[in-house]
Amino acid sequence: MRKFLPSLLAALLLPFFLLSCKNEPSVYAGLEHRGDKDVSITEIHADSVYLDASMTSFSGKFLMSAAGDKIYFVDYNAVGVSEYSLAGEYLGTKVMRGRGPDEMIAPSQGCTTDNMGNLILLDSNSGITIFDRSLEHKLFFTQSPFFQLLDEDFGQEDWNVIYNNPDPEVPQMYEYNLIINRLAFDGERLYIPISTEHVSYNLFERTSNSADCWKKSYILMSFVPNRISETKQLLGHYPPIYSERNIPSFGRYDFAVYGRKLYVSFNADSKIYVLDINGNPLYSFGIADPDIKCDYPQTRTFMEYEDKEFDHRQKYGYYDKLFLSEDITFRTCKTDSGRYKLQIYKGVDMTGDILLGRNMEVIGCSSDGYIYAYTRADYEEEKFVLIKFRI
């Protein structure tokens, strides 16, 4: 009888342990929410800009150069960075495939620019490449698996410990979050989106501590690219709506780094969270759209998530892409009826609420004061369609 006592004790204590985890306050508890709604912008007058896409795979990301005088398209299926003028003229493709000084072995899966105009590329082998503003001189390169970038001394015994005792504080619990499709740079530090990848501690399986994982797992990692081991830092968490109900179909987020602060917007939350540079919540702002009810159905397994995600995202509205320029914040959203909107904030106050004909992603502000946004790919004409507008 005695040999069953530990198991019996564990069974008795487990509900109290789970209850204590569930009741542990969120890092966002009591956070001040700022801003008012004073909408004066209800429409934008935009001009279309057409870019030749025939030399691309059509899959990638647009960036504005730091000087605001060029548009970059970083291809995510083939190695290459295409340059365009603000008028849409194709200027050429650089950073070709190869092992030379100005080449890359694998396509990019994330990209950003820094305040010096350098282009930072994270490739599909988890290598980091930094080019100067001419895209011809390589400043830094490393070719290592993601976990080695974080800690080269992590051994098999450490992996065994993590497998049996998942710990969200350990960087090796994370992988690059491909769905987020974003990098950011501030000062010397690179910020990348991350997600837990653990069989018994993940955001999909209700039986795998998903509620605890939503609350405690991190969403960003930052480091100085040439000093990763000593500078790595885990940052940011999901807001309470995710730990209260399991909705991984709407677990996407977008983020920006501006003015020594982190800005994060989540699909299922109307608030835009502002964090300090170390990931500590400072305040929130953002106005809920009346046509986004956020009444999302839960999924309980990864298989169910895979089966339902597309239908859920088609049926329900959500908050989407985020972009900051000076003290202006742009956020796109999709309503429950399937229509798209653009919210504009001046500081923390909502000043623009614009119904869009189609979805778009703001990519930057040009040197002549126009806001540029990517809208769609025209596959028949082999063109990218962007718009430019002023506010």
CB 74 within 8 A of CB 88: no
High-pLDDT (> 90) share of the chain, %: 60
Total tally of structural domains belonging to the chain: 2
Is 244 found in the same domain as 101? Answer: no
Tell me, yes or no, whether 4 lies in a domain. no
For residue range 150-207, what is the model confidence (pLDDT) as tens digits? 777 788 888 899 989 999 999 989 999 989 989 999 888 999 999 998 988 999 987 7
Whether residue 225 sits in one domain with residue 280? yes
Could you tell me if residue 71 is inside a domain?
yes
End-to-end CA distance of the chain: 76
Task: Looking at the structure, tell me whether residues 131 and 240 fall in a common domain.
Answer: no
- DSSP state, residue 26: P
Cβ atoms of 219 and 262 closer than 8 Å: no
Range 88-116 average pLDDT: 86
- With respect to residue 302, please indicate whether it lies within any of the assigned structural domains: yes
CA distances from residue 378 to 50, 58, 364, 374 in whole angstroms, order as listed = 9, 9, 21, 12
Taking the C-alpha atoms of residue 187 and residue 51, their distance in angstroms, rounded to an integer, is 31
124, 128, 133, 135 alpha-carbon torsion, rounded to 10°: -50
Provide the residue range defining the domain that includes 375. Answer: 49-143+362-391
Assessment of whether the complete model's pTM goes beyond 0.95: no
Residues 169 and 291 in one domain: yes
- In-domain check, residue 28: no
Those residues whose C-beta lies under 8 Å from the C-beta of residue 390, and which sit 6 or more positions away, are: 369, 370, 371
Q: Is there a single domain that holds both residue 78 and residue 221? A: no
Which residue is associated with the tokens 């970083």?
A: 74
Same domain for 111 and 183? no
CA distance 391 to 389: 7
State pLDDT tens for residues 296-355.
Answer: 999 999 999 999 999 999 999 999 999 998 889 999 999 999 999 999 999 999 999 999
Both 264 and 297 in one domain: the answer is: yes
CATH code, domain with 253 = 2.40.128.630
What is the rounded CA–CA span in Å between residue 349 and residue 165? Answer: 44
Q: Is residue 37 part of a domain?
A: no
* Torsion-angle region of 105 (φ positive above 0: left; ψ -120 to 50: alpha; else: beta): alpha
pLDDT tens digits for 225-244? Answer: 878 888 899 999 999 999 99
Q: How far is Cα 167 from Cα 213, in angstroms, rounded to an integer? A: 10
Same-domain check for residues 222 and 90:
no
